[in-house]
């Protein structure tokens, strides 16, 4: 275990409580609509993205068309394709098979933590650092999902909604120590303000739409 990997474990530990809380909401939401426990756990293992999972659970509750459910999950998760391309550009040259294996576990948190770490760490250390973050955060998501399934519908539906809205608060705190320029501060502020009402109007899509809107606005600002 090298120093970069240990540093990733340490940074990844900061997201563990948040991941457990958010994915507990995923498990509860799935239990409320009657989704089988195994299916819910597999969704976290294979999708590993709470916004997409909330959206898919909502669609599954309204429709049994598998293609429609899968399409929603793919559309919400397209942002990870861009994140993966960005990380590959930051990492040192690595075999494609190895990159593909770990690309499956990209999350908004592992991307942001690694991206900001790249500002002050050598390129050669970034992949091991990223792996450390994932090793800490992914099990937390699985544990949270299992807890949510176990609680089932015993908790009020408001908790599920609150877990979804916890995301913008968490990301604002995560970014608070890294944002320095006016554009970065504006993007975080807009995302924090816009996500809750958008998530309320369009469950599962609020964070995604808020991110696009904030990007468009910030892109027009001058430093």
Q: Is the pLDDT of residue 80 over 80?
A: no
CA pair distance 176, 165, nearest whole angstrom:
18
> In the structure, what pLDDT confidence band is assigned to residue 68 with cuts at 50, 70 and 90?
low
Q: Flag whether pLDDT at 137 surpasses 70.
A: yes
pLDDT over threshold 60, residue 161: no
* Complete DSSP assignment for 153-211: GGS-HHHHHHHHHHHHHHHHHHHHTT--SHHHHHHHHHHHHHHHHHHHHSTTTHHHHHH
Banded pLDDT at 35 (limits 50, 70, 90): confident
How sure is the predictor about 136, in pLDDT bands with cuts at 50, 70 and 90? very high
Question: DSSP 3-state assignment of 48?
Answer: coil
pTM of the model: 0.69
Tokens 């958010």 -> residue = 22
d(CA 49, CA 1): 27
Domain ranges of the chain: 3-157
Q: Taking each helix axis from N to C terminus, what angle separates 50-62 and 16-32, rounded to the nearest 10 degrees?
A: 0
Average pLDDT, the chain: 77
Decide which of 176 and 73 is more confident.
Answer: 73
Average pLDDT over residues 176-180: 53
pLDDT of residue 66: 60
183-209: pLDDT as tens digits? 666 766 777 777 778 777 776 677 667
Query: For the ranges 13-17, 20-24, 73-77, 116-120, which has the lowest average pLDDT?
Result: 73-77
Share of the chain above pLDDT 70, in %: 67
Where would I find the H helices in 63-95? 66-76, 79-90
Helix (H) or strand (E) holding 41: helix 37-46
């Amino acid at each position: 275990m090298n120093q970069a990997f240990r540093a990733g474990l340490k940074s990844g530990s900061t997201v563990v409580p948040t991941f457990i809380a958010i994915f507990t909401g995923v498990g509860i939401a799935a239990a409320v609509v009657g989704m089988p426990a195994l299916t819910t756990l597999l969704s976290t293992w294979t999708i590993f993205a709470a916004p997409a999972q909330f959206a898919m659970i909502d669609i599954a509750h309204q429709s049994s068309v598998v293609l429609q459910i899968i399409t929603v999950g793919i559309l919400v998760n397209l942002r990870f394709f861009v994140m993966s391309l960005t990380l590959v550009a930051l990492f040192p040259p690595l075999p494609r098979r190895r990159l593909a294996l770990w690309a499956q576990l990209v999350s908004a948190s592992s991307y942001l933590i690694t991206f900001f770490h790249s500002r002050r760490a050598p390129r050669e250390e970034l992949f091991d650092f990223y792996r450390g973050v994932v090793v800490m955060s992914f099990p937390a998501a699985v544990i949270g999902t299992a807890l949510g399934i176990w609680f089932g519908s015993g908790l009020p539906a408001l908790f599920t909604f609150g877990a979804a809205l916890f995301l913008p608060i968490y990301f604002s705190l995560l970014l608070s120590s890294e944002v320095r320029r006016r554009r970065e501060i504006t993007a975080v502020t807009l995302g924090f303000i816009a996500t809750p009402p958008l998530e309320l109007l369009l469950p599962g899509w609020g964070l995604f739409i808020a991110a696009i809107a904030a990007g468009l606005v910030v892109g027009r600002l001058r430093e």
